[in-house]
Amino acid sequence: EIAFGYKGLQIQLYYSAGNLTTLFNVKYSSKVTDKFDCVEPDDIEGKLRDIIPAGFCCNTDDFITLLEKESKFKPFGALLHTYSVHNEEAGEDITYQIHKADMSCPGFREYHERLQTFLMWFIETASFIDVDDEKWDYFLIFEKYNKDGETLFATVGYMTVYNYYVFPDKTRPRVSQMIILPPFQGEGHGAQLLETVHRYYMTDPKVMDITAEDPSENYVRLRDFVLVKFCQSLPSFSPANLVHGFSKEMIKESQEKLKINKKHARRVYEILRLRATDMSDADHARAYRLEIKKRLVGPYKKNQRELAKMTRCLRPEEMSNQINIINLQVQHEELEKSYQELLADYKRVIERLAQA
């Protein structure tokens, strides 16, 4: 992130829109040498060459020549979904396609090597996956557009999903990586992608449920929105049933029809119940608050059980320290803070649903 030893440093990295043909060049006006304190400048090219796959251009003219081949680029894999987004700047609807691909698609392995480099530029702690493992599924979004009478495609984003084995004969698809490239963010492509991926696995009788690996807060909000969209039409999640609390019917129906696990179904219930609750009514608001806090209080009750055990085995001075750690007043404050944060997240989902 901080390059040492250069003056006037420029790192040029360009990708063509479709095939992701890459131009990589490093320019600088001067760099340190052994004459200055016997130090070496950072090996920028070496570090980036470890990420960028071989075959990139170092010459602008070569790169421009390759751009002429973009019209021949076509999306990989099977087409799963087509949708449109209105572009205010262009004043028209733009078409997008979501495809499912795998390493058997001609040229996809090389394309994916270039595609996955975006993870390194935009996601902290990102890493490359083992593409030789056949349990990976790849879902890609492409923009479809016309230029000079030709139909072209631009890469918008993608998602990787790993199919874990569940005894005895099921699988559990787990979302591993997901990125929408910056020029396309804020247009709803993430929701379209995640919804398409869920629909793809819903039809597979061997799928137990769909999860995600170490999801970010933004991903959780996106998943909440997509899952609520799916569940709001299920009979078990009707307003008449929501007032009676989270039920076994909700767990069963969401799992069997939508491949949603119990934990995610519970969040969906809480969001839909909030939408169906008149929070201006003190009694209704209190009932909802108690319902949510009843779930949130679990870890705090565990702390109280641990405290009870400590009183039987710790010396007074040790006990005093632990009481400061597990302070009831602090726990109540933390519980209320958690509730308010959750409420704010749920309201954002409800607002987005109203706009969808």
Q: And the tokens for 317?
A: 């001075």
Note whether 116 and 131 are within 8 A (CB): no
CA angle 179, 185, 191 (to 5 degrees): 70
Catalytic residues: 213
DSSP 3-state assignment of 279?
coil
DSSP 182: G
Amino acid at the residue 50: D
Look at residues 216, 10, 49 and name the one whose alpha carbon lies nearest to residue 126: 216
**C-alpha to C-alpha distance for 345 and 349, rounded to whole angstroms:** 7
Neighbours of 282 (CB within 10 A): 9
Note whether 238 and 210 are within 8 A (CB): no
Amino acid at the residue 242: L
The upper half-sphere exposure of residue 307, i.e. CA atoms within 13 Å in the direction of its Cβ, equals 16
Q: And the tokens for 275?
A: 């939408």
**C-alpha to C-alpha distance for 162 and 157, rounded to whole angstroms:** 17
Note whether 215 and 339 are within 8 A (CB): no
Note whether 172 and 207 are within 8 A (CB): yes
DSSP 3-state assignment of 5?
coil
What are 179's strand-pairing partners?
Answer: 158
Look at residues 213, 200, 58 and name the one whose alpha carbon lies nearest to residue 140: 200
Amino acid at the residue 105: C
Q: Characterize the bridge pairing of strands 92-101 and 22-27.
A: unpaired
